Homo-oligomer: A and B are copies of this chain.
Amino acid sequence: MRDCEITAVEVRDVRFPTSRNLAGSDAMNEAPDYSAAYVILETDNDLRGYGMTFTIGRGTEIVVAAIHALAPIVKGRRLGDIAADQRGFWRSLTGDSHLRWLGPEKGIVHLATAALVNAVWDLWARAEGKPLWKLVVDMTPEQLVGCIDFRYMTDVLTQEEAVDLLARGQAGKAAREAEISRSGFPAYTTSVGWLGFSDEEVRERCRVAIAQGWTHLKMKVGASLEDDVRRATMIREEIGAERFLMMDANQVWEVAEAVSAIRRLGEFDPWWIEEPTSPDDILGHARIAREVAPIRIATGEHSHNRTMFKQLMQAGGIQVCQLDSCRLGGVNEVLAVLLLAARFDVPVCPHAGGIGLSEYVQHLSVIDYVAISGELQDRVIEYVDELHEHFAAPVQISDGRYVVPETPGYSIEMLPESLEEYAFPEGAAWAGAGVPAR
């Protein structure tokens, strides 16, 4: 590894005016402007590390402030020291006693942690000359486990049990790596069914998606059940019975309301129902899952830490784990959740879309398959065909699958011209537009 010292932490507020076309609209998020609190780690050699956390517009400046508050914990450290004690490094960020009060391990301070932690992992992978996923799958079980803070996990998974779990998968690792590098990782598209789209646009997008080879498609539901039924009927007409249709309610239902709505939507054979109610409501998810079985409940994009995922799995409230690469505290905590999911035999289908999330999560799913769960069954990565052009090494999709990335790092470096044009509020994309109204 090429060691270096992290000499500076730059932070940018970058926002894309996606609300102008209503892509991304759902029952909870009417008009997001996909945004990033973006981090550049400068070093004392020519290496840089890039990281970001995903936001949806207003308030990105608060996350930027939180990254500035955490930055002194990162600045001045040597990469080699961090790499040698990843667990200690992560705990130094999440365990800062003053900043911990503002979470703990949740909300803005945890989103900020993710941006910094992910930037450090990007830097580390670049220093090793490997894509992030390869850096991780090349670790021994002990090395991988050494990146994880097991605090609050040990009642379901100890460090020793995690090492055993990983050791059992060592034999097939090389074959799985070769296979996935050849075939790519299965994906699904969320581009067809945003709530803001007209019926005509939904039909047209279904046809395009089918032509592109998509077999798994997701629609948004939850604004009104009548409307959901009408739209689901239309989408099923377009995609047929053999393709997989997922439905995403974005947290809008009460628990009992979710049960009755899901039973009604069951006629459209949903492959999963996503975020039926409050992301904090573990017991609510468990009750919904029990009462609508065998329809599977998917959640996780708003589950803020490993303790929440642990309980969702303990309670049976999650049949599809949609961890978020930025909501969790970066790669270290993602690895913890991947291990929990393997322990509970819950398939991981990471949350993506927005900006940067696809770039991130392609690595995480490859790690899960090659080094942790060893399974592809029921695993698909979310994909939205938007905003990838802003990245130096954007995701590539081929025939409905993610092509496994080969560029060193975590694939999150944005182009300098994009950083400039979409800088908020001074970039050209915002000039004259002002801050979008509530």
Q: Once bound together, how far apart are the Cα atoms of A106 and B106, in whole Å?
A: 7
Contacts of A110 in B (CB 8 A): 107
Partner of A62, one of B69, B287, B307: B69
Q: Which of A25-33, A232-240, A329-337 has 4 or more CB atoms under 8 Å from chain B?
A: A25-33
The answer to whether A104 and B302 touch (CB under 8 A), given A58-B99, A99-B59, A109-B59, is yes
* CB proximity of A60 to chain B, nearest CB, Å: 9
- Scan residues 288-342 of chain A and give those whose CB is less than 8 A from a CB of chain B: 302, 304-305, 307-308, 310-311, 314-315
The answer to whether A281 and B307 touch (CB under 8 A), given A61-B65, A100-B28, A108-B109, is yes
* CB proximity of A27 to chain B, nearest CB, Å: 10
Copies of this chain, whole number: 2
Partner of A255, one of B32, B155, B251, B277: B155
Partner of A65, one of B62, B98, B308: B62
B254 adjacent to A97 (CB under 8 Å)? no
| Nearest residue, chain B, Cβ from A314 | B283
Partner of A98, one of B57, B155, B315: B57
Partner of A107, one of B108, B152, B308: B108
> Is A103 interfacial (CB 8 A cutoff)?
yes
Q: Once bound together, how far apart are the Cα atoms of A278 and B156, in whole Å?
A: 14
> Is A284 interfacial (CB 8 A cutoff)?
yes
Residue among A69, A110, A280, A314 with the most chain B CB within 10 A? A280
| Nearest residue, chain B, Cβ from A312 | B283
Q: Once bound together, how far apart are the Cα atoms of A281 and B305, in whole Å?
A: 11
Contacts of A428 in B (CB 8 A): none
Q: Once bound together, how far apart are the Cα atoms of A61 and B68, in whole Å?
A: 10
Contacts of A100 in B (CB 8 A): 28-29
Contact with B along A9-35 (1 / 0, CB 8 A): 000000000000000000011111100
B55 adjacent to A61 (CB under 8 Å)? no
* CB proximity of A335 to chain B, nearest CB, Å: 18
A154 adjacent to B101 (CB under 8 Å)? no
B107 adjacent to A103 (CB under 8 Å)? yes
* CB proximity of A253 to chain B, nearest CB, Å: 9
| Nearest residue, chain B, Cβ from A311 | B283
Partner of A97, one of B31, B105, B151, B282: B31
> Is A419 interfacial (CB 8 A cutoff)?
no
| Nearest residue, chain B, Cβ from A105 | B280
B280 adjacent to A283 (CB under 8 Å)? no
Q: Once bound together, how far apart are the Cα atoms of A98 and B32, in whole Å?
A: 7
A63 adjacent to B152 (CB under 8 Å)? no
Q: Once bound together, how far apart are the Cα atoms of A63 and B154, in whole Å?
A: 32
B254 adjacent to A278 (CB under 8 Å)? no
> Is A256 interfacial (CB 8 A cutoff)?
yes
> Is A208 interfacial (CB 8 A cutoff)?
no
* CB proximity of A257 to chain B, nearest CB, Å: 8
B102 adjacent to A62 (CB under 8 Å)? yes
> Is A96 interfacial (CB 8 A cutoff)?
yes
A33 adjacent to B98 (CB under 8 Å)? yes
The answer to whether A277 and B152 touch (CB under 8 A), given A58-B69, A438-B72, is yes
Contacts of A31 in B (CB 8 A): 97
Partner of A155, one of B33, B62, B254: B254
* CB proximity of A410 to chain B, nearest CB, Å: 22
> Is A352 interfacial (CB 8 A cutoff)?
no
The answer to whether A154 and B255 touch (CB under 8 A), given A66-B108, A107-B103, is yes
* CB proximity of A34 to chain B, nearest CB, Å: 10
Contacts of A307 in B (CB 8 A): 278, 280-281, 284
Q: Can you offer 6 A-B residue contacts whose CB atoms are under 8 A?
A: A62-B62, A62-B108, A73-B438, A102-B107, A152-B278, A284-B307
Closest 8 CB pairs of A and B: A107-B107, A58-B98, A155-B255, A108-B108, A57-B98, A152-B278, A280-B307, A65-B65
Q: Beyond A152-B284, A154-B255: 15 further Cβ-contacts under 8 Å?
A: A30-B97, A55-B98, A56-B101, A59-B109, A61-B65, A102-B107, A104-B302, A106-B107, A106-B280, A152-B281, A280-B305, A280-B311, A283-B315, A284-B307, A284-B311
